[in-house]
A and B are shown apart, each in its own frame.
Chain A
């Protein structure tokens, strides 16, 4: 009997603890702003390390609200300043920098206090890391990625537009990264579903045929006249 009462008591306590959890906040936030591309995935030496990679935007670097080294932060801001004031040319002619960010391993979680230091692993010769970024680019967009190392822009090992808005980049090392796309890509107005668009092919064809028929008739007429 005593055990039964204890058990019921425990169940009652558990129920009172669970109820607030069940009545938890159902609020769904609205999107604020995209502070640099999200990292969908990262793989180094066959190991998934997406949680260890951090993308730092200009704004985050300025606020120091990011888990990267001071040197990395300063370098990113320095590059941005030079690009903004024109003292540095964009890394690729004819291309616009869509995103300029720092890509690093999280200092506290994955470098200083980590059992396995991925930064040291990446520093070894021949080791690369593949990071998939959610850039939101169209399937047809050509993306060129450059890293800024030792005062110069360098190519990365490989860039793949995955066709779903994400881009996978293979790096030999981390540093300021520029995601570049071709300049002057204008946004066309949305599709109207206008049937006249389809009819236009007919009208063009009709116009061309009319012109051709006129030319033929004129030529024939001149031959008859001769």
Chain B
């Protein structure tokens, strides 16, 4: 009898131990499957582990992401008196600096991408969401840091809650300033710009001043007049510009400070000159690996174009750029 009781006690103890292990393991799985706060916790980004075909992916910690916006406004930046501003984000790109292979990938998003975005109401308070074109995300708020943060939140949410470390939003005039600061940007012009600017001719040419603005901004009376074609032009321009920028930065000690002062009235950024200098020092030599955009379909809405990203392609792109498989 005693022996039987002893066996039962031992069996119970083993069973309890197993159950404790199961309980702890379940708790660990729950923790991993819910929220992982990254280093940008102060910005409230929530990145999750993702499981695909039995493989778990975690958000990469060895990349730095800079959001660059081109705002459809001329002149120096100016805060809107109202709670909505007229500055749509005509161009939205993420510069992804990868420490692992010392490269930079540029992810350009279509301004007509249909997605959910936060709405800022009177007083700049969160007033629910709106489903519409990405470009509109910057029109909520005063057009300054609040609008940039709204767009940062919008893009982050669209890309599974990735962390966006910095942002730089520039009015159109900043383009010509930056363009000329690097000595002009050379692109291969494939579309007919004769109705817009006859000085922009087909073939390789170095853009100067207003030519740069027209090249990246204009689509009316240019080629097929589609935003997708404009994105292709913007991709080429960004890639060429960054190469020139890097070259000037290394060859001219005063370049960063001078350019920053010139362009400051036309930009909204959370980067001080020191931050930009640090970023350049750290990432300035990174090769531009590729310029990519999510695949999808451009359709005509009731009044305006609407771009719907292909879900599977977007999923694959997000995992490739921002996540790494757990080893």
Contacts and interface: CB of A to CB of B under 8 A. Distances in A.
A19 to B, nearest CB: 19
Contact of B128 (A141, A194, A197, A221): A141
B131 to A, nearest CB: 6
B290 interface: no
Q: Using C-beta atoms within 8 Å of the partner chain, give the interface range for chain B.
A: 35 or more
Residue with the greatest number of chain A CB neighbours at <10 A, chosen from B5, B56, B81, B161: B81
A83 B20 CA distance: 57
Contact of A30 (B49, B125, B135): B135
Interface string A126-149: 000000000011100100000000
A198 to B, nearest CB: 10
Nearest to B85: A33
B84 A57 contact: yes
A224 B26 contact: no
A98 B9 contact: no
Contact of A31 (B82, B158, B304): B304
B100 interface: no
B82 A57 contact: yes
Contact of B88 (A33, A137, A138, A220): A33
B8 interface: yes
A204 interface: yes
Contacts of B133: 30-31
Interface in B39-65: 46, 48-52, 56
A29 B133 CA distance: 13
B257 interface: no
Given A141-B128, A207-B27, A96 B122 contact: yes
Given A190-B157, A194-B51, A221-B9, A98 B121 contact: yes
A220 B129 CA distance: 54
A46 interface: no
A139 B63 CA distance: 38
Contacts of B111: 30
A27 B123 CA distance: 37
A24 interface: no
Contacts of A184: 126
Interface string A184-206: 11111110111111011001101
Contact of B116 (A26, A84, A190, A204): A190
B255 interface: no
Contact of A192 (B50, B81, B132, B303): B50
Interface of B: 5, 8-9, 12, 15-16, 19-20, 22-23, 26-27, 29-30, 32-34, 46, 48-52, 56, 72, 80-88, 90, 111-112, 115-119, 121-123, 125-133, 135-136, 139, 153-154, 156-161, 220-221, 225, 227, 300, 303-305, 311, 315
29 contacts: A28-B300, A30-B112, A30-B304, A32-B88, A34-B132, A34-B139, A58-B83, A59-B81, A62-B81, A62-B82, A98-B128, A141-B128, A165-B131, A178-B122, A181-B121, A181-B127, A181-B128, A187-B116, A189-B157, A192-B48, A192-B160, A194-B51, A196-B32, A196-B50, A203-B26, A206-B22, A210-B23, A211-B23, A221-B9
